[in-house]
Amino acid sequence: MASTTDDDDETITVEFGCDYAKSSNAKCHGKYCDKEITKGSLRLSRLIPNPFIPQSSTREEQLMPVYYHVECFINYSRSGNENKKRVQNVEKDFQGFNELKKKDKDKLKKLFNYEEKIQEKLSETSPTANTNYLEHDQDKKYWQISIDNKTTKTKYGLLGEPDSNAIILYKDFSTQSEADKYFEKKTEEKLKHGYTMKKQTATRKNDQTSLSTTRKRKQSSTPPKSTPTKRQKTTSTKQQKTTSTKKSTSTRKQPIRSTRKKTK
What digits encode the pLDDT tens for the residues 1-42? 444 444 445 556 778 999 999 999 999 999 889 899 999 999
- Residue 173 maps to which CATH number? 2.20.140.10
The whole-model pTM stands at: 0.62
Quick one: which of 60, 65, 70, 71 has its CA closest to 46? 65
Q: Has residue 232 been placed in a domain?
A: no
In this structure, the answer to whether residues 142 and 110 fall within a common structural domain is no
- pLDDT tens digit string along 128-175? 789 999 999 999 999 999 999 899 999 999 998 888 788 999 999 999
Burial of 105 (C-beta count, 10 Å sphere; 0-12/13-18/19+): middle
Q: Has residue 117 been placed in a domain?
A: yes
Backbone angles phi, psi at 169, to 5 degrees: -150, 120
Q: Has residue 160 been placed in a domain?
A: yes
Q: Has residue 97 been placed in a domain?
A: yes
Residue 260 pLDDT exceeds 80: no
Domain of residue 63: give its range: 11-121
Read off the amino acid at residue 121.
K
Output the pLDDT for position 11. 56
Residues 85-106: what's their mean pLDDT?
Answer: 94
In this structure, the answer to whether residues 165 and 85 fall within a common structural domain is no
In this structure, the answer to whether residues 16 and 116 fall within a common structural domain is yes
Q: Has residue 246 been placed in a domain?
A: no
Please state the domain count of the chain.
2
Output the pLDDT for position 169. 92
